[in-house]
Amino acid sequence: MKKVYTEGVNGPMDLIRRDIEVRVKPADIFVHGSEHTFGLYRYYFPANRHYLYIPADFTPMGNYQVFLTKGEFVSDLT
């Protein structure tokens, strides 16, 4: 626990961010098929729009409203 609170460790997502951030432009949009990537990428790329695709017949188990600042959940990809 001491290491968690005293060292800045971000793990694999930080490595992914560093790898792709040079290619991501402010107008780029992320479309996610999982709430896991949706939340992570929203955190690491807050200036971009994010959409979580949820099929129309799927009953969500989470509170996706928390992502609405820069993200939306949709069932129509058009």
Q: What's the CA gap between 72 and 38, in Å, rounded? A: 10
Q: What's the CA gap between 46 and 25, in Å, rounded? A: 12
Return the number of other C-beta atoms located less than 10 Å from residue 14's C-beta: 12
**What pLDDT is attached to residue 62?**
65
List pLDDT tens digits, range 19-75. Answer: 999 999 999 999 888 878 888 898 899 899 888 887 778 776 666 666 666 666 667
DSSP-derived secondary structure letter, 56: T
Q: What's the CA gap between 19 and 23, in Å, rounded? A: 8
- State the residue for tokens 């695709």: 53
Is the pTM higher than 0.85? The answer reads no
